[in-house]
Structure 1
Amino acid sequence: MRIARIFDDFPRVCVSFSAGKDSTVMLHLVMEEAAKRRRRVGVLFIDWECQYKLTISHAEEMFGLYDEYIDPYWVALPITTVNAVSQFEPEWIAWEPGKAWVRNPPDFAITDPGRFPFYRHAMKFEDFVPAFGAWFSGGQLSAMLVGIRSDESLNRYRTMSRRKSTFEGLQWTTWMGDAVYNAYPIYDWKTEDIWTYCGKFLKPYNKLYDRMHQAGVPLSRQRICEPFGSEQRQGLWLFQVIEPETWALLVARVNGANSGSLYAKESGNILGNTRITKPEKMTWEQYAMFLLATMPSTTAEHYKNKIATYLKWYRDREFPDGIPDWQVADCGAADDKPSWRRICKTLVRNDYWCKTLSFSPTKTEAYEKYKKLMKQRREEWGLI
């Protein structure tokens, strides 16, 4: 059994818990093994503030259920993440001081910035998680268990299938640096397996899924995570149906939340889902320049830095005369086929960190230096 193997080989074990169906089942499985061995396990829960009351209630239930064997890390600190529903506030900070919060964190939550020596105010989620893992390990061999399944998305499948450093050749593990490994013990489970387990063994689960089912959301689309990312925003309309009182607070709290929910199901140029179109007399390059010109200057400058790097990379390799205006299947997820149409889709989707152009978020402390450096490089390259 994979989880038993984790306990055999790793002195330190921590579960990354989101209160979604996958991480809930994983936590149940891990705690069963922990109870047998009378071992304590860390449980990391990032409280995003703008979450369903049902999700918070379930998280509290799970922390209470396994209180005897868990070291709880319920984090309610200012952490920055993407806000894909606004170009004026393309990132937002959960638990930002001075704001009217959607709710107060639980009394036992970690709200003191001094709790973690690595923490920096408003650090990005992508920075916080690996830093937490390194801190948690304390230099000991450690496993951070993550409840992702490869059939949930192409990116998750890639996490499991790509060439990478693993623990003793176990493909369901990934070396994260130093003594820390991520482990994905339920990576090959199907959605039906998750619900079969909960039903057969009468395990508690997040009742938000019952409400999603009643709202007509198919099993394959029922997900729980922070709400304002370029993919996650498609579920914003559910807040109005399931918890309208929470939705009213979200609209007041996060810039663009209401407009994002209004157009979440659109497949065209509103949010860039599935397909996009352009004005008939414009090329895709011209349309990209038009989109950049309509953005707030700070946001436009951010995108220009990313796009210039993208153009320079391909100019030095396959396309010395510049990337095509468009290519067949250039907006697909499987391959990064460079084109100005792909750039336009990135802009229309408000994909702030340009993940559709194969970028990853820039580390918080390096971003200001990055902007100054890119301004100089763009002048040297003659791009954007």
Structure 2
Amino acid sequence: MKVYQNENVYEAFNHRLDYICSYFDHLIISFSGGKDSGLMLELVRLHYESHDWMKKGIKVSVFYLDYEGNYQETKDYIERSMGKYPEFDYYHVCLPISASCGISMSQSTWLPWDPEHHELWLNSIPPEAICLENQEFPFFKVGMSDYEFQSKFCQWLHREKEVVRTAVLVGIRAQESLNRYNAVTREETFSRFGTTNYSHRISQDVFNFYPMYDWLFEDIWRANAKFELDYNHLYDLYYQAGVPYKSMRVANPFHQCGVHSLKLYQALEPATWGKLVGRVNGANFAALYGGTAAMGYRGAVLPKGHTWKSYVEFLLETLPEETRKVYRKKFKSSMDYWMKTGGALPENVIDELEELGSDFERLGPPTNKRKYKYKQRYEVIRFKDYPDDVPIKNFRLVPSYKRMCITILKNDTSCQYMGFGQTKDELQKKQEAMEKWETFL
């Protein structure tokens, strides 16, 4: 296993649990059915037994948010895991909560367990699960986002358990992605528990912790083998199918990060695949072209006779009107920002732009110190013309029509690829969708 500061990651994990348990009397294991959260469950159980948490009054809850569609191996594993250790409390949630959709040109989210379309459900609700008919969450609204639900659920459970502090154990690892690396290296100390970099504040007495953040993919499987632990055997099928380990995902089947592996359902579980095709518009296209330039992966290719600017217009005209309006509004915002206000970029990126001969003016360092807390030297620049293409290493940081094309091809209506967050209009639409379904409550 990886050795860090004179101890391997398993030893470090246990020391982190020791630390967490010295301040927190309630732990929630955020369980997804994947390799990381599955190992988290087992390691917490081993620590629970060896340190006699029951005598210390430490409570453990296991929370699983069911996105309706799973491989049979994943369903079997979840069935084995939920309720496995009677000392823990389990919450298997099957509610119509808005989830990310990265495969459709006409919808940015989809609604698992849609109460108006039972006939489209990919699976039936397990008898022990929390569903629309038996849920008693005062904060719940049909159509609320999955991330909002998870946050409010943990705060609600903290109050229900009548505990002092709640630690939510999340099995993310820095190796998985840059976003996950940033989650445990951020400098905003106000959002941590004390000085613990692998923590994040949810509310006054509820914190996320990432005690496995420095584990490698290989460490996961060494631990499973060494301690002879149960795991999701879907990974065995992935391995046999030749899936790269970075693509071995267990999540919402229509999430953007899993588009490139959606086609595996066809080979591994044809019956499930048949249901997926009818569940969300675009599933078949994503299976055929996910992971290719057709969906913004492996480098978008410019069609003959087009500039990236003209290709943007071509792609926009192929979209439904409402979707097209969303893109146009955000693209205009990007153009106004970079050509009127100016944006901050690292100095090494600016040097690359100068070598390319890009036409822009340098406006000096950022002046809003509270907003710009950078680890390296940044400078604000303003483009005289919006670039068509910027062939540099940090391509995503710099505005260009090519970046717009990739955003469209990825079905990224929120334009996260371009650095956008949700707008007030989008939040308002989400609120209206929630109000529409209030009659079911």
Q: Which residue in the other structure is 1:218 paired with? A: 244
Structure 2: distance between partners of 1:330 and 1:302? 28
Q: Which residue in the other structure is 2:257 paired with? A: 231
Structure 2: distance between partners of 1:241 and 1:362? 39
Mean CA deviation greater in 218-227 or 97-106: 218-227
Is the aligned partner of 1:26 residue 2:40?
yes
Q: Which residue in the other structure is 2:151 paired with? A: 130
Structure 1: distance between partners of 2:152 and 2:38? 23
Q: Which residue in the other structure is 1:178 paired with? A: 204
Q: Which has the larger radius of gyration?
A: 2
- Provide Cα deviations, 1:81-122, integer angstroms capped at 9, x if missing partner: 222221123321100112221110111111036421111111
Q: Secondary structure at the match of 2:275?
A: helix
| 2:102/2:412 contact within 8 Å kept | yes
- C-alpha spacing 1:365/1:354, structure 2 compared with 1 (3 Å): closer
Quote how far apart the aligned CAs of 1:285 are: 2.4
Is the aligned partner of 1:292 residue 2:312?
no
| 2:144/2:430 contact within 8 Å kept | no
Structure 2: distance between partners of 1:286 and 1:177? 47
Equivalent positions of 1:8-157 (< 5 A) are: 8-35=22-49, 36-38=52-54, 39-66=58-85, 68-99=86-117, 100=119, 101-112=121-132, 114-138=135-159, 140-157=164-181
Quote how far apart the aligned CAs of 1:11 are: 2.4
Quote how far apart the aligned CAs of 1:365 are: 8.2
Structure 2: distance between partners of 1:204 and 1:47? 20
For structure 2, the residue ranges without an aligned partner over 5 or more in a row are 1-14, 343-380, 433-441
- Provide Cα deviations, 1:214-260, integer angstroms capped at 9, x if missing partner: 11113332121112122211111111111111111111222111121
Q: Which amino acid aligns with 1:271?
A: M
Q: Which residue in the other structure is 1:353 paired with? A: 414
Q: Percent identity?
A: 36
| 1:326/1:339 contact within 8 Å kept | yes
Structure 1: distance between partners of 2:83 and 2:314? 53
Q: Secondary structure at the match of 2:44?
A: helix
Structure 2: distance between partners of 1:286 and 1:370? 35
- C-alpha spacing 1:123/1:330, structure 2 compared with 1 (3 Å): farther
Quote how far apart the aligned CAs of 1:137 are: 2.5
Quote how far apart the aligned CAs of 1:172 are: 0.9
Q: Secondary structure at the match of 2:200?
A: strand
Is the aligned partner of 1:204 residue 2:264?
no
Quote how far apart the aligned CAs of 1:152 are: 1.1
4+ runs deviating over 4 angstroms: 361-365
| 2:74/2:234 contact within 8 Å kept | yes
Is the aligned partner of 1:325 residue 2:374?
no
- C-alpha spacing 1:55/1:265, structure 2 compared with 1 (3 Å): same
| 1:15/1:145 contact within 8 Å kept | yes
Normalising by structure 1, what TM-score?
0.89
| 1:34/1:69 contact within 8 Å kept | no
How many aligned positions are there?
366
Q: Which residue in the other structure is 1:283 paired with? A: 307
Normalising by structure 2, what TM-score?
0.78
Q: Secondary structure at the match of 1:181?
A: strand
Q: Secondary structure at the match of 1:45?
A: strand
- Provide Cα deviations, 1:2-38, integer angstroms capped at 9, x if missing partner: 1122122112221111010000111111222334212
Is the aligned partner of 1:273 residue 2:297?
yes
- C-alpha spacing 1:365/1:325, structure 2 compared with 1 (3 Å): closer
| 2:259/2:291 contact within 8 Å kept | no
Structure 2: distance between partners of 1:43 and 1:158? 26
Quote how far apart the aligned CAs of 1:140 are: 4.2
| 1:82/1:352 contact within 8 Å kept | no
Q: Secondary structure at the match of 1:6?
A: helix
- C-alpha spacing 1:152/1:42, structure 2 compared with 1 (3 Å): same
| 2:96/2:132 contact within 8 Å kept | no
Q: Which residue in the other structure is 2:184 paired with? A: 160
| 1:77/1:94 contact within 8 Å kept | yes
For structure 1, the residue ranges without an aligned partner over 5 or more in a row are 372-384
